[in-house]
Amino acid sequence: MARASYLFTSESVSEGHPDKVCDKISDAVVDTFLAAQPDARCGVETLATTNRIVIAGEVRGPASIDADHIEHVARRVVREIGYEQEGFHWEKAKVDVLVHQQSADIAMGVDASGNKDEGAGDQGIMFGYACTETPDLMPAPIYYSHNILKALAEARHSGAQPGLEPDSKSQVTLRYEKGKPVCATSIVVSTQHSADLSTDEVREIVRPYVLDVLPEGWMCDEAEFYVNPTGRFVIGGPDSDCGLTGRKIIVDTYGGSSPHGGGAFSGKDPTKVDRSAAYACRYLAKNVVAAGLADKCTIQVSYAIGVSKPLSLYVDCHDTDRVDAAKLEKVLYDMVNLSPRGIREHLHLNRPIYARTAAYGHFGRAPEPDGGFSWERTDLVDELKRVFG
């Protein structure tokens, strides 16, 4: 039986965190290829350190997207994030592009040919999750962690808080009673800032954004409100800590509230099931919860490289389901084609929509008119309700 009363913590990191700088560069490269050729292939990793960016990986797409083009994309991303610091500057950083053509062996196994459908780009397991804790059907700790940093980033970009710099982290601990979140017991925010701000001044800059994000009455005790607990955070970003694509997979998903298959998303085109199948699992889980069939839903799928059909589909509603789980598995399997091609076509994933996913979570975001965050739609709800009465 699940515990009724407990504390649970999730963290988030901002677009200026070193790993997120790398995620966004990698995803901007993916977008560049998909904008030029919707069936392009991309598996791109980025490393960033003091005034140095290294981009490596494999691609298949237009020859016009060469090393110079990719370097330009990287510099544009760093400028948009806001890095114009001595130790990390969009214009002054050295950029190395070490990108090569996709392996012919992988292409042969994955591409559709003859009567063979497109296969999965790799083996692996992927998970999706949804719950009723927040309006976006996300776990509350990661939801509030993301939103605190988004609010601070918006204030920084707008000029409302010019003393804030790009690198920041948050951590939210919530108390659960009878399985429901009821208040925060501690809040941690570490944000890079200009040298002329004191720790107390940064604390008072951050406070109203935290209060605005949390539900009324949820704020923790003052002694448990930690802002820049080391006392100073002037040197930040890749100048203070090397960044790498794919190191924030729990931040990207559900903050630890759900299992994770282990595969990162950023830098991968949608033929990679690490990305597309995780999106499909969230899509299915969110629709199950939105339809009122359960209060919580975890979905797992698995794949083998070069094989189009999923090897398994598993649904766990954590004893909150109002319908038969075995029947739900069959209905979901029949409702959406979970082959790599089927997922891409159903969710319209062959579009340049990925750089925007790189910070503040891939899930719990509003679907956008151009197809961004299409996996957050709840367009299966009516059919699910009809099938299950």
Residue 161 annotated as lining a ligand binding site:
no
CA triplet 42, 375, 19: central angle to 5 degrees? 50
Classify 315 as helix, strand or coil. strand
Residue 264 annotated as lining a ligand binding site:
yes
Residue 295 annotated as lining a ligand binding site:
no
- Strand spans (E) along the chain: 6-13, 41-49, 52-60, 94-101, 124-131, 164-177, 180-193, 225-227, 243-244, 296-303, 312-316
Residue 168 annotated as lining a ligand binding site:
yes
CA triplet 63, 66, 68: central angle to 5 degrees? 155
Q: Which amino acid is at 234?
A: V
Whole-number pLDDT of residue 194: 97
Closest CA to 139 of 168, 176, 169: 176
**Residue 258 tokens, joined:** 């759900």
Q: Which residues contact 344 (CB under 8 A, 6 or more apart)?
A: 270, 271, 276, 350
Residue 58 annotated as lining a ligand binding site:
yes
d(CA 325, CA 164): 48
Residue 368 annotated as lining a ligand binding site:
no
**Do the strands 94-101 and 52-60 form a parallel or antiparallel pair, or are they unpaired?**
parallel
Task: Write a three-state SS string for 325-357.
Answer: HHHHHHHHHHHCCCCHHHHHHHHCCCCCCCHHH
**Residue 363 tokens, joined:** 């899930």
Residue 247 annotated as lining a ligand binding site:
yes
Per residue in 111-163, pLDDT (tens digit) is 554 545 677 878 899 999 999 999 999 999 999 999 999 999 999 999 999 99
Classify 100 as helix, strand or coil. strand
Residue 127 annotated as lining a ligand binding site:
no
Whole-number pLDDT of residue 108: 54
pTM for the structure as a whole: 0.95
d(CA 26, CA 24): 5
Residue 20 annotated as lining a ligand binding site:
no
Report how far apart, in Å, the C-alpha atoms of 50 and of each of 195, 215, 235, 237 are.
19, 39, 11, 9
DSSP notation for 178-189: TTEEEEEEEEEE
Whole-number pLDDT of residue 257: 97
Whole-number pLDDT of residue 117: 61
Residue 169 annotated as lining a ligand binding site:
yes
Contact 200, 232 (CB under 8 A): no
Residue 268 annotated as lining a ligand binding site:
yes
Query: How confident is the prediction along the chain (389 residues), in pLDDT tens digits per residue?
Result: 567 899 999 999 999 999 999 999 999 999 999 999 999 999 999 999 999 999 999 999 999 999 999 999 999 999 999 999 999 999 999 999 999 988 665 655 565 545 456 778 788 999 999 999 999 999 999 999 999 999 999 999 999 999 999 999 999 999 999 999 999 999 999 999 999 999 999 999 999 999 999 999 999 999 999 999 999 999 999 999 999 999 999 999 999 999 999 999 999 999 999 999 999 999 999 999 999 999 999 999 999 988 889 999 999 999 999 999 999 999 999 999 999 999 999 999 999 999 999 999 999 999 999 999 999 999 999 999 999 98
**Residue 332 tokens, joined:** 């979901």
**Residue 210 tokens, joined:** 């935290």
Whole-number pLDDT of residue 38: 96
Q: Which residues contact 372 (CB under 8 A, 6 or more apart)?
A: 351, 353, 356, 357, 365
Whole-number pLDDT of residue 180: 96
Q: Which amino acid is at 285?
A: A
What domains can you pick out in the chain, each with its CATH number? 6-13+140-235 (3.30.300.10), 18-110 (3.30.300.10), 124-132+246-387 (3.30.300.10)
**Residue 191 tokens, joined:** 């944000």
Whole-number pLDDT of residue 104: 61
Phi and psi torsions of 249, nearest 5°: -70, -30
**Residue 5 tokens, joined:** 């009363």
Residue 344 annotated as lining a ligand binding site:
no
CB atoms < 10 A from the CB of 182, how many?
15
| Placement of tokens 């407990």 in the chain | 6
DSSP notation for 68-93: HHHHHHHHHHHHHHT-B-SSSBTTTS
Residue 178 annotated as lining a ligand binding site:
no
Residue 233 annotated as lining a ligand binding site:
yes
d(CA 160, CA 152): 10
Per residue in 82-96, pLDDT (tens digit) is 999 999 999 999 999
Residue 232 annotated as lining a ligand binding site:
yes
Q: Which residues contact 378 (CB under 8 A, 6 or more apart)?
A: 286, 287, 290, 291
